[in-house]
Amino acid sequence: DQQVKQNSPSLSVQEGRISILNCDYTNSMFDYFLWYKKYPAEGPTFLISISSIKDKNEDGRFTVFLNKSAKHLSLHIVPSQPGDSAVYFCAGGGGGTSYGKLTFGQGTILTVHP
């Protein structure tokens, strides 16, 4: 049972344009969501998060949108830069007894072309 899905294995974008990465989830118990970026041979690096009580969170070039009714979230990167090329994972987490357990999506490979 894949609780977090990233249906696009890859995305290619021109430098300066917007990158939109999508994520769907099935577990309505998730009460926060995170996006991580991962370069080869490195661990995931935290980018941005959003609580389930919000529908938008912004940090510089990165904005995460949450649509609870659709169980969908997206990460917008504007403007995209070649250094953003990496694998992006979305993850869902829940508090209480499941605190600290993040369930990751399969990842989307973003390539930003100069």
Q: How far apart are CA 30 and CA 67, in angstroms?
A: 13
Nearest C-alpha neighbor of 52 from the set 71, 77, 26: 71
Query: Does the protein bind other proteins through residue 96 (CB under 8 A)?
Result: no
Q: Which one of residues 34, 66, 75, 86 is an interface residue with other proteins (CB under 8 A)?
A: 34
Query: Does the protein bind other proteins through residue 44 (CB under 8 A)?
Result: yes
Q: How far apart are CA 89 and CA 104, in angstroms?
A: 6
Q: How far apart are CA 112 and CA 87, in angstroms?
A: 12
Q: How far apart are CB 97 and other proteins at their closest, in Å? A: 8
Query: Does the protein bind other proteins through residue 7 (CB under 8 A)?
Result: no
Stretch that binds other proteins, among 18-26, 38-46, 54-62, 72-80 (CB under 8 A): 38-46
